[in-house]
Structure 1
Amino acid sequence: MLIVWASLPAWVCRAQSRVPALDSMGANMARENWKAAIHWALKAGEAIPSEKYWRYLNAADFASRDRNKELALHYAALVADSDIAVKARFGESFAWLKDDPQWQQLTRKIADRKEAERQAKIKSARVFRDEQKAMQAQTDAFAESLSQIGSAEALYKAIRQGRPPRQYPRGRNFVYGWTNLDGKIELPYLVQLPPGFDGSKAYPVVVVLHGAVAYQPETRDVPDSVDTFFGRFFMRMASESGFIAVFPYGTKTYNWMMPEDGFGLVPEVLRQVKRLFPVDDSRVYITGHSNGATGAFSYLMKQPSLFAGFSGINNRPQVRTGGTFFRNALNRSFYNVATDYDYYFPLEGHQGVTRLATQLGINWQNREILGKRTHGFLINDQSDESLQVYTQLFADMASKKRNPFRERLYWECEDTQNGRCDWLEITRLDTLANAQSWQTPVNVPVTGWRKVMNPAELIDSTSNAFQFPRRSGAVQATYAGNRFELTTSWVGKVKLFLSPEMIDFAKPLQVRINGKQVFASRVEMDKALMLSSYRRESDHQAVWAASLELAVP
């Protein structure tokens, strides 16, 4: 069914449905036959009374595009008096009415209702802010107790096995939270707790990213519109799977896709959630729809260390702020769901990416949903068919566990801000040297692009899936016992993070880079590193007991 939130404004986001009137409405939209589109919008409202006012919003939009002021104002007034008024969006198609007194009165009425609801939410959210401070204080007290432990070995054991004692309000399914991003902006997120939440247990976590980031110009004071904004089935399956679900709210400027300003939002929200709730660090996942799926893919490419598994629905697998170094996916996995009538990234493109993943040995699954299913179908449709897609996505998710101590890593980056994967970090690039022959970019030619307004119509166009605007450095790294072997390309310096799960600290450590031995000595466990890392990450699995920074010979 047609719902407001997707990767385009509401009137564009349609899906092949089981309601013929909706399909007829969509077909007439594509032909810009606005009078017929109005007729079918009203018929669709009759077919689904619970969505009647959303159809009135469509009718108002179509009438405005047809320059029918009387009808546009009539249906807009019905929306303004309804319970969807504070969620409805009147876009650029209404701009020509801005000087009309009736339109001005309507928009003032809606603005007043939105402000009243906003103030009510701010007032109700105060209790959550107080609770957040109290839970954070409990975690801080636990971290302070760790600093009193004498030996590094005992500290390591305490972090791995201990948990901060916390008290949680009873009977609450949702919790509001706020995170401060780089001291620049405060952004809200929502936490959905699983049924029967027990603060003494460690839970898997799924971070769900929303789409339409370009259409979020303002920061919310508190979370809202969760079920339609993020997708009802994401919420339902997280609950039924026994997951803590985290829903961050991005904006046009601060999000998980572009620009780079907001890419730290999701890791920071997740770190805060881990400071507040009992999280199974080996079972943290990230997923989303549309721009949210692209965000999940981007964290796989740029900052995978926090997560065990990645997935997305109607994904465009491309890093939008720089190079897409697809071999980085070797370190984790991705579960991809694609529909056959998606304008955002065509089915043929997903098939090509899947073939490339198979060639490279990447754990990449691609599920195809056929039947003229458009970009918004799986986020809007509420049928058993769509539920089964989410059920399988969550089943795959639950089967994944993070291993931050993998014996083999490949990592490539174009800036050191995104230089780390698990125990390997590129701390300096050297792109003036000669690149190694094994560092070759991989790409996929993509055909089958479809028109946004009429996805049944193909576009005669071919483009590459990935872009590479800047030079990048890469490292291939392995270890066995206390011996590390690294080969590098366009890299000047690396850092290794070490754990008792990887090496024996009682024995000498050997490191060879590009065939040359650069280190051969014992390494001492570092209390300061463990404490600072725990205060930042609240990670009880990936506890790094020492680090070693080395220049590339």
Structure 2
Amino acid sequence: MFILLLAFAANCYAQDYDKKFYVADSLVYAKTDTIANARKGYEMYRELYVEVPEKVSFWHLYDMAYAANKFKDPETGFYWLNKILEEKYKEQNLRMIFKYAKSDFYHLQESPKWEAFQEKVERKIETYQNKLKAQQQKWMQQGLGGATYSALNDGKELYQAIRDFEDYPSIPSEVFGFIKVNDTLDNNFFVRLSKSYNPKQPNKLLFFLNGAVRHQQIPAYPNTSLEEGWQRFYKHYAEENNVIMVYPNSNKEFNWMLGDQGFAMVTDILKTLKQFINIDDDAVFATGHSNGATGSFNLLVKNPSAFAGFYGMNTQPKVYTGGTFLKNMNQRSFYNISTDEDYYFPPKANDSLVKLARKLGLNYNDHRYNGFPHWFPQFPASEEPIKDSFEDLKSQQRNSFPNELYWETDDVKNGKIDWLEIKQLDTMQPKKQWHQEVNFTIYEKKYYDDQDSLRTKKVNEKAFDFPRKSAAVKANYKDNVFRIKTSRVRELSVFISPEMVTMKQAISIYVNGELRYQKKPTYDRDFILKNFKKTYDRKAVWVEEVKLRL
């Protein structure tokens, strides 16, 4: 009974302080009698800082500085801003101080101390960045990224050593990582490992790509806010299903949808993570909402080789940087979650796409939820389809060695699918009869009028654009014999794996009915190592590349 009374008292105690924080916040941001209320709120915060310092967050200190700015006390304002730099959460949200400085710290900015404070924050951020980068580099050296194979001169031994590697370091459940986008810009990402992560066991991994890429900014460093808000259900079901979640950052110049400058960032992050996290190479997935879902779809039709499957919520299934080659979906699936009140891509257009995909034998599945707008993740009802997508994810497995392939591209940077790569196009050639454009017509779209009411308008437009001429290949193999048909291809490569062929027998490659190559495959040690380090993929390890000039 005594224990129950103590628990009740502790609960009341916590609730009492939570109420005080709420009141203090309300006073600081009061829109009437603002200066007097800001003083009252400030005094409440200061008392709470003494009484329960462990409950004081970054934003509480921020509020005290904000209040001091209101009643024109720069000394007090800078005192609390400097406290932010001293406390345990000093690395989190520091950029927010400058993001809202113009509206929240206008008096403090007039002080000669502002510039010195700003420089101090920048130094703190740089120190924190360097700490995270050094930790990442240390983990990479302790894992696959630090593996040395100089003693293995035999290609077959090297191949087996790569496939057998499992010596990964133990790491925390929260990982803050960095990659280089170019010589002057770093991008960053946040990784959430499940509590049951075991570095000795391969783990499934799911990328979540955010939407609204035109309005994003790449922060100085990642933080856990990337898994909150509209992404809240992913954290829960990833934990339940032992799936690693990865949240990349983006901006309007570098993203997975607009332009090609940042398109490779997802696979670059994957390459980095594979050097220190034990990832199941055959169970890597991508998902997202809105522009992020479109990014997931773009990966599917432009560069799917590293992935087992793709998901998207409120997707616009379209490539903005070139042709949308639907038949490239022949080896992977797309699990789409749509709503009937979505303006981003019309529901009836999704229905048309499903019918077309079915006709072509492609695995595009649409799961419709009625009564919800484009911002479906905001609603609790979005939990159900997210849960279902994790169920689907458990059944998907990548096959990097399919017996049949089709691939089409208008850009050789995205010319590779599993064991085949288009290295050079020849668009002066006429297309083969089987190389046909696939498209459909959209007849209506939804939009919001000036009264913010959802309306439908009649249109007559094609779903996809094809701004450039493309090249295509159809290929298959069986019993060491490869048969390839090409259209507008000048050069291609066939990648060989012992999982595909009998290494002790010659392989034959026929292109457009003509025997172009016949030779016994080898374990090319230098090629194996060089090509492996492009992806750090332990399952799809290629032992030889056969280049064919047509």
What's the CA shift string for 1:267-312, capped at 9, x where partnerless? 1011001112011111000111111100010011111000000110
Mapping 1:179-328, distance limit 5 Å = 179-223=179-223, 225-228=225-228, 231-328=231-328
Distance 1:70 1:477, change over 3 A: farther
1:513 to 511, 514, 529: 511
Q: For residue 156 of structure 1, give the secondary structure of its aligned residue in structure 2.
A: helix
| Higher mean displacement: 339-348 or 518-527 | 518-527
* 1:167 aligned onto 2:169: yes
Distance 1:140 1:403, change over 3 A: closer
CA contact (8 A) 1:413 1:473 kept: yes
Aligned residues: 472
Distance 1:176 1:230, change over 3 A: farther
What's the CA shift string for 1:196-240, capped at 9, x where partnerless? 222111111111100111002454333352134661112222222
Q: Provide the identity percentage.
A: 30
Q: What is the aligned partner in structure 2 of residue 417 from structure 1?
A: 413
> How many Å apart are 1:364 and its aligned residue?
1.3
Unaligned runs of 5+ in 1: 1-48, 61-68
What's the CA shift string for 1:248-281, capped at 9, x where partnerless? 1011101101111111111101100111201111
What's the CA shift string for 1:30-72, capped at 9, x where partnerless? xxxxxxxxxxxxxxxxxxx99xx99x99x99xxxxxxxx999x
Distance 1:508 1:216, change over 3 A: same
| Higher mean displacement: 129-138 or 411-420 | 129-138
User: What's the TM-score, normalizing by structure 2?
Assistant: 0.78
Distance 1:444 1:118, change over 3 A: farther
* 1:535 aligned onto 2:536: no
Distance 1:207 1:149, change over 3 A: same
CA contact (8 A) 1:347 1:448 kept: no
Q: For residue 461 of structure 1, give the secondary structure of its aligned residue in structure 2.
A: strand
Q: For residue 187 of structure 2, give the secondary structure of its aligned residue in structure 1.
A: strand
| Higher mean displacement: 512-521 or 115-124 | 115-124
Q: What is the aligned partner in structure 1 of residue 454 from structure 2?
A: 456
Bigger Rg over Cα: 2
CA contact (8 A) 1:339 1:368 kept: yes
> How many Å apart are 1:125 and its aligned residue?
5.1
> How many Å apart are 1:452 and its aligned residue?
4.3
Which amino acid counterpart does residue 403 of structure 1 have in structure 2?
Answer: N
> How many Å apart are 1:115 and its aligned residue?
9.4
CA contact (8 A) 2:125 2:220 kept: no
Which amino acid counterpart does residue 236 of structure 1 have in structure 2?
Answer: H
2:387 to 385, 391, 394: 391
What's the CA shift string for 1:526-545, capped at 9, x where partnerless? 11111112222111100101
Q: What is the aligned partner in structure 2 of residue 333 from structure 1?
A: 333
Q: What is the aligned partner in structure 1 of residue 440 from structure 2?
A: 444
CA contact (8 A) 1:404 1:422 kept: yes
> How many Å apart are 1:415 and its aligned residue?
1.2
Distance 1:274 1:88, change over 3 A: closer
Q: What is the aligned partner in structure 1 of residue 151 from structure 2?
A: 148
For 2:120 and 2:348, the matched residues in 1 are separated by: 48
CA contact (8 A) 1:427 1:495 kept: yes
Q: For residue 508 of structure 2, give the secondary structure of its aligned residue in structure 1.
A: strand
| Higher mean displacement: 214-223 or 187-196 | 214-223
For 1:107 and 1:273, the matched residues in 2 are separated by: 42
Q: For residue 336 of structure 1, give the secondary structure of its aligned residue in structure 2.
A: strand
Distance 1:304 1:512, change over 3 A: same
Q: For residue 246 of structure 1, give the secondary structure of its aligned residue in structure 2.
A: strand
For 1:538 and 1:239, the matched residues in 2 are separated by: 25
CA contact (8 A) 1:147 1:531 kept: no
Which amino acid counterpart does residue 168 of structure 1 have in structure 2?
Answer: S
Q: For residue 504 of structure 1, give the secondary structure of its aligned residue in structure 2.
A: coil
Which amino acid counterpart does residue 476 of structure 1 have in structure 2?
Answer: K
What's the CA shift string for 1:52-93, capped at 9, x where partnerless? x99x99x99xxxxxxxx999xx99xx999769x97999xxxx
CA contact (8 A) 2:143 2:277 kept: no
Q: For residue 247 of structure 1, give the secondary structure of its aligned residue in structure 2.
A: strand
Q: What is the aligned partner in structure 1 of residue 3 from structure 2?
A: none
For 1:182 and 1:541, the matched residues in 2 are separated by: 28
For 1:235 and 1:416, the matched residues in 2 are separated by: 36
CA contact (8 A) 1:223 1:249 kept: no
2:500 to 463, 477, 502: 502
For 2:202 and 2:135, the matched residues in 1 are separated by: 20
What's the CA shift string for 1:481-521, capped at 9, x where partnerless? 10001111111111000000001121111111111111122
Which amino acid counterpart does residue 165 of structure 2 have in structure 1?
Answer: G
Distance 1:456 1:424, change over 3 A: same
Higher relative contact order (CA 8 A, sep 6+): 1
Q: What is the aligned partner in structure 2 of residue 426 from structure 1?
A: 422
What's the CA shift string for 1:172-198, capped at 9, x where partnerless? 321100001243421010110111222
Distance 1:431 1:500, change over 3 A: same
Q: For residue 466 of structure 2, give the secondary structure of its aligned residue in structure 1.
A: coil
Q: For residue 319 of structure 1, give the secondary structure of its aligned residue in structure 2.
A: coil
* 1:377 aligned onto 2:379: no
For 1:361 and 1:370, the matched residues in 2 are separated by: 27
CA contact (8 A) 1:374 1:455 kept: no
Q: What is the aligned partner in structure 2 of residue 546 from structure 1?
A: 544
CA contact (8 A) 1:346 1:447 kept: no
Distance 1:102 1:535, change over 3 A: closer
Which amino acid counterpart does residue 482 of structure 2 have in structure 1?
Answer: F
For 2:318 and 2:490, the matched residues in 1 are separated by: 27
* 1:105 aligned onto 2:106: yes
Unaligned runs of 5+ in 2: 1-20, 42-58, 67-92
| Higher mean displacement: 114-123 or 324-333 | 114-123
For 1:320 and 1:147, the matched residues in 2 are separated by: 44
CA contact (8 A) 2:314 2:345 kept: yes
